[in-house]
Amino acid sequence: MKYIQNSLICVLLVSLALMTGCSKGEPTEEMNKAEEAVARAENDPDAVSYSGNLIAQAKESLNRMYEEADAKNYDSVLDYAANTITFSQRAIDEGHSAAMRKRDEANTIISGLRTQIQETEQRINNAKDANLPLDFNSIDSDFNSARRTFDQAQSAMSGNRYQEAIFLSNSVRAGLNAVNQKLGSAAMEVSRKK
C-alpha cells in the first residue's frame, strides 16, 4: 500500500514538473511582435532618416532576445521583446517629429527665398538700367543657376525630401548673396566716383 502511495506521489510530482516546464515555453507571440516592430521601423522612411540610432538599439535588443531564446531564458526574452518594441515605436515617433521639424524649417527657408529671388531680380534690373560696370552675362548666369537650384529645392520639398530641400535652399541663398554682393560692390564703386 505504501508502495502504491509513493508511486502515486512520484507520478504526481513528475506530472506537475512536466506541466510547469511545458507551460512556460518560448514566447513566440511576443517574439513575433518584436520582429514586426523592428520591420515597421526599418521600413518607415522618417524613422530611417532621423532615428537610426533607435533602430540600431531595437535591432540590438532583438538580437539579444534571440540569444536569450536560444538559452531558454524566457523571462529575459519577454524583457528584450518589450524593449525591442519600445525602441522601434520610439524610432517611428521621433522620426515623424523630426521630419515635421525639418518640413517646417524647409518651408520657412523656401518662403524667404521667394522674396529674396524677387528682390535680387529687381536689383539686377536696376543695375542694368543704371548701366553699372558689371559682367551681366555672369550675373545672369549666376542668378539663373540659383533659380534652377530653387526649383530643385521646391521639387525636393514636394517629394518630402526635407533635408535635401534645406541643403539646396542654402545653396540658393549663397548664390543669391554672391550676386547681391557683386551688385552692391558695383553700386558703391560708382557712388565713390561721383
Q: Using CA atoms, how far apart are residues 66 and 60, in angstroms rounded to an integer?
A: 10
Q: Which pLDDT value is given to residue 86?
A: 97
What are the pLDDT tens digits along the chain (194 aa)? 454 554 445 444 444 444 444 446 899 999 999 999 999 999 999 999 999 999 999 999 999 999 999 999 999 999 999 999 999 999 999 999 999 999 999 999 999 999 999 999 999 999 999 999 999 999 999 999 999 999 999 999 999 899 999 999 999 999 999 999 999 998 888 777 76
* Cα end-to-end distance, the chain, whole Å: 129
Cβ atoms 117, 150 nearer than 8 A: yes
> Is the overall model pTM greater than 0.85, yes or no?
no
Q: Using CA atoms, how far apart are residues 20 and 14, in angstroms rounded to an integer?
A: 10
- HSE toward the beta carbon, residue 89, CA cutoff 13 A: 8
Residue with cell 517611428: 92
Q: Which pLDDT value is given to residue 194?
A: 64
Q: Which pLDDT value is given to residue 18?
A: 42
Q: Which pLDDT value is given to residue 24?
A: 62
